Structure 1
């Protein structure tokens, strides 16, 4: 029996040493890795990226405006040289903003309510969108009094 007890103590001692050695080396590796990441953060500067947000404002017409003439002009401002897509129910038109960001596009409205979307895409691929509802009434011209009346 004393042999078995001695043997069990010896095996327990060896396992204890192995576990202690494993914990020690793991702890040491974690501390060294932490020092390396701190050094990397201070040595490598973060790159500066210039991404420009895309803005789109429409000066005319206003949303839900009523027209007596089917030919109207959409005008507004976005980023310089951005591409502006005008999406109509019966097709799409494309225009490019000038160097100051101003754009204008003539469109023809269909009789009744027209859903129009403007989508501006700048050089970085960022998009801005405005949705509006415009109404063309053929009865509006007929109902307007003539200047001689």
Structure 2
């Protein structure tokens, strides 16, 4: 859960007012969007998964939170349709791997982030205290953790 991360990040910025707006892409089932809406942000959120969006809508409704959720792929957009005080990446950037897609993502973010706004990225990071096990290898030069996977043939036995 990203709650402790967001609580700490919001301590450093001062954007929350009745008019503050936030946009979350890769929202999944809406934990980040709910966190922001619960703290007074007007939130728009998207995810590529229609199932995740339906779950997010149900969760927000049960919590009495007004969040504008949409099933959409950020990379199919050319720009955001309004400007936001805060844009949140909820473990999405790590799935956007090509230079071209990342460049497009940053262009889209730039189109919708107020000049006084904040862009918060929450992503997986290496933790030196984590035990990766026998089937994993951490490369200190690249910061990549490699996991051994089973071959597809093993599942056909």
State the TM-score, normalizing by the size of structure 2. Answer: 0.22
Larger RCO (CA under 8 A, 6+ residues apart):
1
Structure whose residues are more often strand by fraction: 1
State the TM-score, normalizing by the size of structure 1. Answer: 0.23
